[in-house]
Amino acid sequence: MSLYWDNSYEIVLELMTYYPDVDIESVGIEQLYQWIITLPDFADDPHLANEAILMDILREWYEEHDSSWLS
């Protein structure tokens, strides 16, 4: 499945697979951007990213990470 910027949940799932032990609170926007555009299934134009998109993905990753700890 190809990943695009508007597939934030799917991007988060991929990030959780590739970076399972990362301290999400220490991830910066630039680092997150680099990780996303190098995901094997990422197919969107990297130049379409902006801070709002990246912050939404980071927030969703944080929320998904928290909910997975509760399970």
Task: Please report, for the domain that includes residue 58, its CATH number.
Answer: 1.10.10.600
Residue 2 covered by a domain: no
1 falls within a domain: no
Q: Is the pTM of this model over 0.85?
A: yes
Residue 32 and residue 57 in contact, taking contact as beta carbons nearer than 8 Å? yes
**pLDDT given for residue 69 in this prediction:** 54
Whether 71 has a pLDDT exceeding 70, the answer reads no
Tens of pLDDT, residue by residue over 23-35, are 999 999 999 999 9
CB-based contacts of 25-31 (< 8 A; 24+ apart in sequence): 25/62, 27/58, 29/54, 29/55, 29/58
As a whole number of angstroms, the distance between CA 43 and CA 37 comes to 8
Q: How many domains does the chain have?
A: 1
| Domain housing 36 | 8-70
pLDDT score at 36: 98
